[in-house]
Each structure stands twice: as structure tokens, then as C-alpha cells.
Structure 1
Amino acid sequence: MNRSTAVVPFCHSSDQPSALQQQFSEWECGSAVPQGPDRGWMCCPKGWRRFQGSCYFLSTDTMNCAESAENCTGMGSQLVVITSQAEQVFLIEQGTQRPSRDLFYIGLFEDDMGQWQWVDKTPYNETAAFWREGEPSPGHTENCTIMHLPAWTHNNWNDVLPTTKHHRICEAAAIFV
């Protein structure tokens, strides 16, 4: 842990704690604004990884696509929505850390033939998509998306059958205190 990180018990100071706050009692906090009078802390549940304003959970167990989405929701989060190359690179870097895992569900689904949609309804932007060569596959049976980690390229997404079991990456907004 570096100097600007602390592990703290989380006290619900507001009347309406978020679903994420209700699920976890121990939080890791880092400085949100390193200098100036408006210093604050950006916190994620202990064991989650922080990047920019989000917290990420990389599972160690496997589930099918629907179970993965439900598991993230049950923790007050969602399957990850990747909106930038910086976020994609961050997640690739997380895949190099132990324990070793390789395939992770992300929150991108095919609603209709060729119509991809993020779980939170963020518009799908093909210029910010990181498909492997030849992906996504034609047809509608492979309508869930996984990320291959660790990756030797930024383009590491693959569409798969929703019944296959893989790890998952959950994402939630960091808590500012």
C-alpha cells in the first residue's frame, strides 16, 4: 500500500447508502484530489481495483453469462462497460496479476442480429470496441462477450454462447468521501 491509500471500515453516513455500500463493510481509499483544499478520498470495496472513478472486481469463480450479470447486480455493480482505450489497457494489466485467470465476461450483449448493446445502455461505439480479428462471429447464438486476459493485444474481445462458464469483471462507481 502506498502513502495515499488506507483501509477503513465504512460507516453509512447518508440516509440512502448505495447498493455497493450496503454490500461491503471494509473499503480501500485513495486520495481523489492529491493537492489543494478540496482533498477527498475515492473508495472501493476491499479487494476491488480502482481506476479513475470506478471500482472493478475480477472474479475467481466461473458462471454463465446470465449468472455473471446477476452476481454483479447482487453486489451493487454491473458487468463492466468499457468506454475507452485507457480503461481497456487498465483491465488488460489487471489480467497479469495473480491468481491467473483467462476469460472474463464483460457487459456487452447482442440484442438483435448485429446490434450490440452495453448492459447500462451506454451507446455501442465501434471505434471504441476491441474485438479479436474475425470477431464478432456471424449469427446470433454467440450473444455474450468475453475478454481474453492476459492479452498480447488490446483487441481481445470474443463473442461466446451464453451458456459457457467464465470469470467476470464487475464495475461500480467509486464512493467519494
Structure 2
Amino acid sequence: MASEITYAEVKFRNESPAPVVKVPPETKKPEHHPQKYPLWLPWLISLLLFLVCIALVVILFGGNDDNSSFLLFPLFSVALLDGSYGQYKTLLQNSTEWYCVASSSADKMEGWMCCPKGWRRFQRSCYFLSTDKMSWAESEQNCTGMGSQLVVINSKAEQDFLFNLAKETVTNVYETKYYIGLSAHKNGQWQWVDQTPYEKTATFWKPGEPNLLFAEKCAAIHVKGNMDPNTFSNWNNVLCFTNCYRICERAVELL
């Protein structure tokens, strides 16, 4: 009889379990991304450098006097130069093109002074001489509609500038009148449209003017083609419903 073979499962109690190795959790390193710049930034920098070069040319060769030439900038250039979209919108409301001239002191550039196309600059004001005629009240309303006012003349230098500017438009010997912002509607007392005090010593009336004040209560610059170029006292009072040209004034835009 064949002997039976018995298998037995033997367990050793003193067997040590496999050691468990604890691996510290992997520390996640922060990701570093390269700095990204807008694609248009190099173009903007190039444009600004170009405008600075133009400014240097103006300062070196254009001079800083009030009769120096204007530079014509598209509105988007003015907006980039200023860095303010708000001022860009302000310029856009009244004109599509502006003439700008560098404003600088003896040692540095301070910015730009801008006037709408078709206006002329003197010091820190822009002036518009109309090519059509209206009454004084209509002239005042028209200037207001353009964001300006009938001109207020504060100095002899301004009077001289306007006289010469008006003379440029006169091509014949006939008289030409341009309304200014001075009237005597209230009790026959002269008053500027912006409430600037009326100083008789700082006026430029023609000899014998103003006269007939009971009827002629609006002031105008009176120019003739054959007038003595040295005659700067040329204000005349006229009937306010007379159709005359007009001079509008507004402050320059500073950028």
C-alpha cells in the first residue's frame, strides 16, 4: 500500500513583514511662465520715439515764437501721445484734424498746444474768422455751437494779432467788420461775453467811437484794405442786427 503524502502549510511566527518605506509627497514646484507683452507694444514705442524726434526738430528749427508753424497730427497720433482716450474723444467732437505746436520752456518740452484745422493760434488761444455774415446774437450763438465764444480782447498784443489777421482777408478797399464779444445791451453799459470787466483804458475804439450808443450797441473790428497798417485802434459800434463777419475764440487744447 502506497504511503500517503501529506502537505502542510507551515507559517513562521517570527517572520518579519516587509518594511514599509514612506516616501514624502512630491513638492510641486511653481511653474514659471515667460513674461508676455502685447504684440503692439514695440510698435507703440517706435511711434512715440518717432514723435519725440519730430518734437526735437520743431524745438531746434521751428522756434518758440507765436508765429511758428503748426504741425498737423492725425487724431490717433495725438491720442497715443497724450495717453488719454478721454482727451482724444474731446478733440474728436469738433474736428477731425488738429494743428499742434510744441510748448516748451528754455530747457525742456512741456507738451503740445493744439487748435482745430482752420483756426489760428496766438499764445494760448485759437481764433476763427468766419467767411459768412450774421447778426451779433447769431454770431454769439454760432461761436458757442463750436465750443468757443465771440472773441474777448485782453491786450494790445492780442488786438494787434487780430488786426493783422483780419487784414489778411481783406482784398479790396471796402470796409469789413468782424463782431467781437462786446455789447452794451444792459443799460448802455459795455460788457464782455465772458463777464470780463470792461476797462475803457484797455479798449481800441476808432477816434470818435463809440457813438450813437442809444442804437448801436454791438462792437466790431473795422478793417479796410487801404487802412494804415499801423492803425490798430479800429473798434466800431454798430447796430446789433447788422450782418457782419465774426471772430470766435477758444482756449488751445493742451496735450
Q: TM-score, normalised by structure 2?
A: 0.63
Contact 1:113/1:140 (CA < 8 Å) preserved in 2?
Answer: no
Alignment partner, residue 223 of structure 2: 149
Contact 1:103/1:148 (CA < 8 Å) preserved in 2?
Answer: yes
Alignment partner, residue 107 of structure 2: 36
* Equivalent pairs, count: 177
Alignment partner, residue 195 of structure 2: 121
SS at match of 2:220: strand
- How far did residue 15 of structure 1 move? 3.3
- How far did residue 97 of structure 1 move? 1.6
Deviation by residue 1:34-55 (Cα, 9 ceiling, x = unmatched): 6533431111001100000000
Aligned match of 1:59 in 113, 130, 153? 130
- How far did residue 19 of structure 1 move? 6.8
* 2-structure distance, mates of 1:19, 1:144: 32
Cα distance change, pair 25–119 in 1 and its aligned pair in 2 (3 A) = same
When the two chains are superposed, the root-mean-square deviation of aligned CA atoms in Å is: 2.4
Alignment partner, residue 9 of structure 1: 74
Deviation by residue 1:1-60 (Cα, 9 ceiling, x = unmatched): x84631112356353779776211210111221653343111100110000000000011
Alignment partner, residue 174 of structure 1: 252
Larger radius of gyration: 2
Aligned match of 1:89 in 115, 139, 160? 160
Cα distance change, pair 136–176 in 1 and its aligned pair in 2 (3 A) = same
* 2-structure distance, mates of 1:30, 1:80: 22
- How far did residue 114 of structure 1 move? 3.6
* 2-structure distance, mates of 1:164, 1:61: 13
State the percentage of identical aligned residues.
50
Aligned match of 1:136 in 210, 224, 249? 210
Contact 1:58/1:167 (CA < 8 Å) preserved in 2?
Answer: yes
Unpaired runs of at least 5, structure 1: none
Alignment of 1:59-78 (within 5 A): 59-78=130-149
Q: Which has the higher helix share?
A: 2
Unpaired runs of at least 5, structure 2: 1-60, 63-68
| 1:172 counterpart letter in structure 2 | R
- How far did residue 98 of structure 1 move? 3.5
Once the two structures are overlaid, the 10-residue window that deviates more, 136-145 or 124-133, is 136-145
* 1-structure distance, mates of 2:238, 2:89: 32
Cα distance change, pair 50–121 in 1 and its aligned pair in 2 (3 A) = same
SS at match of 2:110: coil
SS at match of 1:97: helix
Contact 2:103/2:110 (CA < 8 Å) preserved in 1?
Answer: yes
Deviation by residue 1:107-165 (Cα, 9 ceiling, x = unmatched): 00103344100000011111110111111113332111110125531111111111110
Cα distance change, pair 21–72 in 1 and its aligned pair in 2 (3 A) = farther
| 1:110 counterpart letter in structure 2 | A
Q: TM-score, normalised by structure 1?
A: 0.89
* 2-structure distance, mates of 1:131, 1:8: 39
- Could you say which structure has the greater relative contact order, defined with CA pairs below 8 angstroms and 6 or more residues apart? 1
Contact 2:170/2:176 (CA < 8 Å) preserved in 1?
Answer: no
